[in-house]
Amino acid sequence: MRKDLHRPSTIQPQEYDYVSCDYLGGGVDALAFYSDRMAFRVHRERTGGRWSDHEHGGSCHVCGAHAMYVARFHHRPTNVYIQTGMDCAQKMDMGDATAFRSFKKRIAEGRKTFKGKAKAQELLAERQLSTAWTIYTATYDAPLPREENIITDIVSKVVRYGSISDKQANFVGKLLNDISTRAQRTAQRAAEQAAAQPVPVSDQRQTIRGEVVSTKVVDGFRGPVTKMLVRHADGWKVWGTVPAGLTVERGDEVEFAAKIEPSRDDPKFGFFSRPTQARKIGPATPEQAA
């Protein structure tokens, strides 16, 4: 015969404070109940309480039944914790029925997420993109670089929708390749920057001939304008508005005349203005465009 304070015949509901819910089953994404477990952990750290050591049989410490959905309570007089099945808690008017319903809904969503993650991991493995899954599940202490951020977003959609298109898969593959060569490319850019010559300084217009490194549409005083970054053969770079009538893309070789104003922070970088006599010498090759 049980003689503990928590048996159905003697339990006093008013002596218990509801703390949190928990789920003891499987097949659910851990994030579904993470906040509840953290709330219980914080509560225990504050009170210094312990679990009741009475014999109760199942996961419900009151009736001894086996329940997957449980509610956890703090018994104030003895500073101990018990958990009950949600049915038991509601019968004794303990806990929060709204919280119970919300928790069960989160667990249902957690089941979908669990299945979605398993499916996504399988789909990525089939396409030789398992590294993308590693990136998605990793923990980061700093903001994600561009490539990792895009991969995480795409994989989250695969988890949600259960599919990945050929276009998405190819793009993820390209991003993974960019990540694998990022250190090499960074070192190469650093070497190029070190070897670059300063921007030529003159009060007159100068002929600028070089490769279009990148383009970008920005808002100007009279509406959107396209800017371009051009790298000269000597390594220095200039930024300015694409001349009227000229259409360029990354990798194109262009030539034009313009005034150059060196940057105050970087002698190897400058800004060109009012370009004239512009022409495209050669289109971008597939390798340059990539």
The fold of 197-289 is OB fold (Dihydrolipoamide Acetyltransferase, E2P) (2.40.50)
Predicted pLDDT at 20: 94
Predicted pLDDT at 1: 77
Report how far apart, in Å, the C-alpha atoms of 114 and of each of 106, 107, 156, 162 are.
Answer: 12, 10, 12, 12
| Structural domain boundaries in the chain | 13-105, 127-180, 197-289
Predicted pLDDT at 85: 93
pLDDT surpasses 60 at 290: no
Q: pLDDT-derived band of residue 259, with 50, 70 and 90 as boundaries?
A: very high
Token pair for residue 24?
């003891």
CB atoms under 10 Å from CB of 3, counted, come to 8
pLDDT surpasses 70 at 132: yes
Report how far apart, in Å, the C-alpha atoms of 219 and of each of 79, 95, 215, 226, 248 are.
Answer: 64, 56, 13, 9, 18
pLDDT digits (tens, 9 = 90+) for 49-92: 999 999 888 999 999 999 999 999 999 999 999 999 998 898 88
Predicted pLDDT at 245: 86
Query: Whole-number mean pLDDT of the chain?
Result: 92
Helix/strand/coil (H, E, C) string of 6-23? Answer: CCCCCCCHHHEEEEEEEE
pLDDT digits (tens, 9 = 90+) for 154-163: 999 999 999 9
CB atoms under 10 Å from CB of 183, counted, come to 9
Predicted pLDDT at 150: 96
Share of the chain above pLDDT 70, in %: 98
pLDDT surpasses 60 at 185: yes
Between CA 129 and CA 289 the distance in angstroms is: 24
